[in-house]
Amino acid sequence: MRKAMFEHEIKILRDTFARLLRRNAHTNLVKLIRKTHPADLAVVFRYFNDEEQVQVFSIMVDDGQAVEFLVELDDTLIANLLEDESPERIATVIQESSANDQSYILGTLEDEQAHSVIELLKTEEQEEIEELMGYPEDSAGAMMTTNVFTLYQNTTCRDALTSLQDQSEAEMVFYLYITDEDDRLVGVASLRALATTPADTILKNIMVKRVHTVRPETDQEEVAQIVAQYNYLAVPVLDEDDQLLGIVTVDDVVDVIREEATEDFLQMAGAGKDREILLKSSWENARARLPWLFASWIGGIFAASIIGTFEHLLESMIALAAFIPVIIGMGGNIGTQSSTIIVRGIATGRIEIGSELKVMWKEVRVGIILGALYGLLLGAFAKFRFIDADPMLGVVVGLSIGCSMLLAVAVGTFVPMFLRKVDIDPAIASGPFVTTSIDILGVLFYFVIAEYFLSI
């Protein structure tokens, strides 16, 4: 299977590290670390225990290798690893890297520790880092690369090529950003356009003038949407005066898309939104999941109270109790289907403002189809299974599951769309919310219907 290729390679690497660490083979470890891609190193690092992590990190040389590795690492692991390092070592490790890598690493540390490190850096670096760290988390400003290569609009293609060749810092040149005399971004040109145009042409005449840009405070999710929508390799970030602050590159967008999907998954399951939850302790895990379960506990208490008030009904027909799980369970499941389809539809831009009613009506039709089908099935089963009970039991059970499923679809569809309307992340209209609502509503409708139809 080709599918397992990547996993297989990582596994071999992990085993090699484990063996060398066990044998304490310093020289071989140094060699292995040197020839391993920092991204791979970051993956296997998760499987080391605390001492092994410290040992491997202490072996890394500070000439750029350590910092390249750190930026690939999960936030939680960076913080753990650097917690006990001296500010001096940290400053040495990060001093040669770019401002956005520096601010990313410092952002994972405690404020005080980060501050001590910043004080050890050069003044101009300090200023740049503090500016970057000032942007909100998950914004374009926080993820942009400030190292951008710009050219003046009246430069000729020949001169542009020459200055490109002198440019050793800006690592990934995707596009050439072109500015006017006031340093405002006025256009963009591709490397290819530059290479395929007569050498005397000025950039102004080959550049594309309509450029999609974002502001530093733009949410990373919107940046990702723009990059994905138009297949860009980078998006420029401008301040209010249209001056180029930096660019967000596609490789960072790839990470954002994965991270946002993970957060949405966790949030919809009512498991918080910490994408690194697997790296956290059982206690932290329990704490993140506790509030959602509390909501569902309260819902359960409500359901218990409702059933309690219908005790007289249950007393005269015990068989009613048997159908509680299937009525609320089917409701919960179809409701979760609906809310998942809607939440994901909103996230991928398939549900636009204005199309809500159409979508809702379609979901309700699905609820009617499936509710009627499973209502008939369950009604028939109830009639057959509890043959001695009231002849209306089948009707009650069938009608109740139909209602429960229809209600669930309505709740599962309406709630995320409503939340979006009031500017709350629809992903919190999560599984627990829908299933809990159905626990309460399903049980209530069930007993009201039973009271109406059963001759008790």
Task: Decide: is 307 part of the binding site for its own copies (CB under 8 A).
Answer: yes
CB-CB contact of 316 with 456 (8 Å): yes
Q: Which of 196, 186, 303, 185 is nearest to 244 (CA)?
A: 185
CB-CB contact of 417 with 368 (8 Å): no
x/- binding map, residues 148-187, to its own copies, per CB under 8 A? -------------x--xx--x----x--------------
Q: Which residues pair with 246 in a beta bridge?
A: 237
Q: Which of 68, 67, 133 is nearest to 106 (CA)?
A: 133
Task: Decide: is 381 part of the binding site for its own copies (CB under 8 A).
Answer: yes
CA end-to-end span of the chain, whole Å? 64
Per-residue exposure over 165-175, b if at least 16 CB sit within 10 Å of its own CB, e if not:
eeeeebeeebb
Helix (H) or strand (E) holding 246: strand 244-249
Task: Decide: is 34 part of the binding site for its own copies (CB under 8 A).
Answer: no
Site for its own copies in 97-126 (CB under 8 A): none
Task: Decide: is 308 part of the binding site for its own copies (CB under 8 A).
Answer: yes
Site for its own copies in 195-214 (CB under 8 A): 195-196, 214
In the complex, minimum distance from the CB of residue 229 to its own copies, in angstroms, rounded to a whole number:
5
Which C-beta is closer to its own copies: that of 81 or that of 118?
A: 81
**DSSP single-letter state for residue 427:** G
In the complex, minimum distance from the CB of residue 129 to its own copies, in angstroms, rounded to a whole number:
22
In the complex, minimum distance from the CB of residue 35 to its own copies, in angstroms, rounded to a whole number:
10
Task: Decide: is 390 part of the binding site for its own copies (CB under 8 A).
Answer: no
Q: To which residue do tokens 């138009």 refer?
A: 230
Among 225, 273, 448, 453, binds its own copies (CB under 8 A): 225
CB-CB contact of 175 with 145 (8 Å): no
Which C-beta is closer to its own copies: that of 250 or that of 410?
A: 250
Site for its own copies in 311-370 (CB under 8 A): 311, 314-315, 318-330, 332-334, 336-337, 339-341, 343-345, 348-355, 359, 362-363, 365-366, 369-370
x/- binding map, residues 38-57, to its own copies, per CB under 8 A? -xx--x--xx----------
Give me the long-range contacts of 15-18 (CB less than 8 A, separation at least 24): 17/44, 17/48, 17/56
# binding residues, its own copies (CB under 8 A) = 134
